[in-house]
Chain A
Amino acid sequence: MPRPGFVLEVDRSTPPTLFWRGENFSLEKLPAGRSRVIYAPEPLPAIKDVDAAIRHALANPIDSDPLKALMFSGMKLTIAFDDISLPLPKMRRPDIRQRVIEAVLDTAAEVGVDDVHIIAALALHRRMTEDELRHALGDRVYDAFAPRGQLYQHDAEDPNGMTSLGQTPHGEDVEINKRAAESDLLVYVNINMVAMDGGWKSTATGLSSYRSLRHHHNVNTMRQSRSFMDQHRSELHHSNWRMGKVLKESGPRIFQIETTINTDTFPAPFEFLSKREWEWGAKERATYLATTKALNRTPVKLARKIFHSIESPHQMTSIQCGEVEAVHKITTENVWKQQLVEVKGQTDILTMGIPFISPYNVHSIMNPILVACMGLGYYFNMYKGKPLVREGGVVIMTHPTYPDFHPVHHPSYIDFFEQVLADTTDPAVIEAKYEKQFAEDEWYKHLYRTGYAYHGVHPFYMWYWASHAMAHLGRTIVVGGDPRAVRRLGFTPASTMSDAFEIAQDVVGPSPTVTHLHTPPLMVADVS
């Protein structure tokens, strides 16, 4: 039976705590008597017979006819799936998406459906490479559909590829992929890694365009989302749900398949990352020492390669399908079951180790903007109720924050970092002054459509993701980060954790309380 998450009060005998530091980790001593560490629940047991579970779910959907009954010979069927940003790190083959899509296609074959398109619902993310598609969908699906041009990636800038479905009562444009919109049935295959994913966000975001996304991917929405991990208090989700309503009324019939995975995140030899420090045996300690020492001497390029080649032993814990909202309700419950940890009261200082990966740099480089987004966007928002850190508090993250950018994946990020952040770090100013220029830049569009680049506007979204935290916090400190890059982000560099605590005291006063978000694995703090 997996143990639930819990909050450890740090005392003098508590061993130092593990922090991610990009492509490495460190052990940091937290001040005794006023610190606590939040440990995630242990991975839930996985479903034993995954294929049977999938078949059962497809035959017994929620608030919907069985998948087979929704299909008919001669229909237009479109299957959309979550892109490379999920799950993190990539899961061992076979990926859940492959299993689900194969099951859906099997059903389609039985019914005699010929016109099937499979679309990577990547919104404004970069296109996936062939290897990545093969990893997510398996060779069989790839080899069968890609050569026929029936497996491809959503292109939000294709002038002939988008359909407008109208507006929400709030005046938000709803635009989705044309093929999806014109299908008799749209099957969306999702992986719900955190509570933010899924629901209407799958279709209304994954298959939409800049014209549609700008209504919820903006500073105002993000500041109104407390947090975006909690669907009911998230303006981001409210907007998506409003768009969902339009989709439901005038869009295609949607059959949503949502899956949840457990938090069994790292394979050997990195299992110790998910273990509680006082339970580290001789083997874990030796592995920790050996890996950190080795990684210290490893060129960062090689270290990135090593880490991005990790295939996670994630396993499926649930699958539910049918009507979007009903399905997502159950999915969210299942995610909470795995990730929720009850925490009493806020803290002055929130500490977090930033890993080598974020949803936007799979097989790529964690650039400074993504570091900011990961810390202040994702980790900060890993709460339900109140933020973990009090208003005016301090976030301390650990990450080397090299000013390195992947030239193919993140061209607009480079310009954002060099040109926009050099001017201002205020998300509202950035939005007003620069967003349109970047979003409409033909060059970025070209790279997004034909290369493997994130859309020109994507770095803005990363910055907006952090805007709630930026407004909330008194200061953000990055331990061990490249000072110039950290300052460019508007943060304060510190060389050691104790320096960081010293600096933080200027903002939060003496003897502040400290809370550490112990990742991996991911968790969400239910703060009362």
Chain B
Amino acid sequence: MRALRIDRKVARFASARVAGMLAPGSGAKWGPLELDDVPAIALPGEDWVRIHPRLSGICGSDLSTVDGVSSRYFEPLVSFPFTPGHEVVADTDDGRRVVLEPVLGCVTRGIDPACPACARGELGNCERLAFGILDAGLQTGFCCDTGGGWGTEMVAHPSQLHDVPEDLSDEAAVMVEPAACAIHAALRVPITPGATVAVIGAGTLGLLTVAALRAFTPAGQIVTAARYPHQIRLAKELGASIVCESGELSRVVRRQTASMAYGDQLTGGADVVLDCVGDSATISGALQIVRPRGSVVVVGMPSSVKLELTTLWHRETSLVGAYAYGTEHLADGRTARTFDLAFSLVREARLERLVSVTYPLHQYEDAISHAANAGRRGAVKVAFDLRHDRKR
């Protein structure tokens, strides 16, 4: 089988970091990522199955790994060498089309009894991500024992697999996993009916979050900061009430919420701000436009950031993270698995349109550079298309 792999090569990570700083996505060329013919992966357990990826998305967290800028926090949570790729739609050997739910929780790790989080169905919060029969890895795509979506073959636990309905295209199916993340983020803090919600960033995650907010919360105004024309169009189509440029967001929120201002800090502000970028500037910006006792949800993966937290203290703002998925409690009292909600969102919001372009595996350098510059190049989601790979 052929797969892109990342090995623990310190010099390579360093050069990727430098290259990535100069041009986002160029870590693919100079970094630790290599396309190799690799031996088939042994099945970690009896019930595990082999699957063959059809489409495999490129996610923001993958890009930061490739560019060597991931947080050191992840070091004990990954195991080398691994094949990235966790947004996967694949074929099983018995001819089913499945979407992978990549979190490697207690069930996949053969840990019984499961940890408290897994027992509650909150898979994303699993407390045993480095233990059990698998080597460390928070998700498939970061673990040396499972392979990943950026290869022609990988292994998966049946509990990870969700059948794709016949009428759903591969492009739609590959959006299920990111959509699940977005739904989880949208439901992370309770949103009251008519609340004003601001979404920072209109990349894949931002757009999906807008769609999720519209679909699963009673939010009133959804204000989105976007940068590029296609993002503005899509954000509007997916349910944003107002789409503005990022520099305009605080003015829009001020006007929508009829706030006053102390300097750059709004006196009132949005009830909830979802930051789908996650750097110092956006989180600080979010804290400035959220109302007292409001919540800032960090959806985009942050790294080490510098924040002025006086406002958090003074205005009793909540700063919460939102990662992955599990079980959701909806506003109407229902409880559902995030992935089930994601399937319905993908179908109803026709999210396949977010897959802008696909690349064969061997053009991985172009693919990653395209993904890293997706907004500027008019794209949203970039994916690998492995359906025609000879090595499958």
Contact = CB atoms under 8 A, between A and B. Distances in A.
A contacting B, Cβ–Cβ less than 8 Å: yes
Interface residues of B, number: 12
B40 interface: no
Given A437-B255, A441-B255, A443-B254, A418 B245 contact: yes
B251 A446 contact: no
Contact of A441 (B244, B245, B258): B258
Contact of B248 (A419, A442, A443): A419
A414 B260 contact: no
A306 interface: no
Contacts of B317: none
A419 B259 contact: no
Contacts of A415: 251-252, 255
Contacts of A446: 260
A27 interface: no
A418 B255 CA distance: 12
Contact of B261 (A422, A437, A443): A443
Looking at chain A, what size class is its interface with the partner chain? Answer: 10 to 19
B260 A419 contact: no
| Closest 7 pairs between A and B when the two form their complex, measured CB to CB | A418-B248, A443-B260, A415-B255, A415-B251, A419-B252, A441-B258, A418-B244
Interface string B237-267: 0000010110010011011001111000000
19 contacts: A414-B251, A415-B252, A415-B255, A418-B244, A418-B248, A418-B251, A418-B252, A419-B242, A419-B244, A419-B252, A422-B244, A437-B255, A441-B255, A441-B258, A442-B258, A442-B260, A443-B254, A443-B259, A446-B260
Nearest to A440: B258
Interface string B347-370: 000000000000000000000000
Contacts of A443: 254-255, 258-261
A105 to B, nearest CB: 39
A491 B290 CA distance: 36
Interface string A427-462: 000000000011001110010000000000000000
Mostly helix, strand, loop or mixed at chain A's interface?
helix
B223 to A, nearest CB: 10
B242, B255, B261: residue with the most chain A Cβ atoms closer than 10 Å? B255
Interface of B: 242, 244-245, 248, 251-252, 254-255, 258-261
A414 B247 CA distance: 11
Contacts of B254: 443
A326 B244 CA distance: 52
Interface in A392-443: 414-415, 418-419, 422, 437-438, 441-443
Contacts of B259: 443
Mostly helix, strand, loop or mixed at chain B's interface?
mixed
A520 to B, nearest CB: 35
Contacts of A422: 244
Nearest to A417: B248
Contacts of B242: 419
B152 to A, nearest CB: 46
A523 B320 CA distance: 63
Contacts of A414: 251
Contacts of B252: 415, 418-419
Nearest to A411: B251
A422 B252 CA distance: 12
Nearest to B245: A418
A443 B253 CA distance: 12
A419 B258 contact: no
Nearest to B254: A443
Contacts of A419: 242, 244, 248, 251-252, 255
B204 to A, nearest CB: 23
Contacts of B261: 443
A437 B254 CA distance: 12
A441 to B, nearest CB: 6
Given A419-B252, A443-B261, 18 more contacts: A415-B251, A418-B251, A418-B252, A419-B244, A419-B248, A419-B251, A419-B255, A437-B255, A438-B255, A441-B255, A441-B258, A442-B258, A442-B260, A443-B254, A443-B255, A443-B258, A443-B260, A446-B260
A286 B300 CA distance: 60
B276 to A, nearest CB: 21
Nearest to B248: A418
A361 to B, nearest CB: 20
A384 to B, nearest CB: 40
Contacts of A437: 255
A193 B260 CA distance: 37
A415, A437, A438: residue with the most chain B Cβ atoms closer than 10 Å? A415
Nearest to A437: B255
B140 to A, nearest CB: 42
Contacts of A438: 255
A419 B251 CA distance: 9
Contacts of B255: 415, 419, 437-438, 441, 443
A414 B251 CA distance: 9
Nearest to A420: B255
B202 to A, nearest CB: 15
A419 B249 CA distance: 10
Contacts of A441: 255, 258
Nearest to A443: B260
A438 B251 CA distance: 13
A485 to B, nearest CB: 13
B222 to A, nearest CB: 15
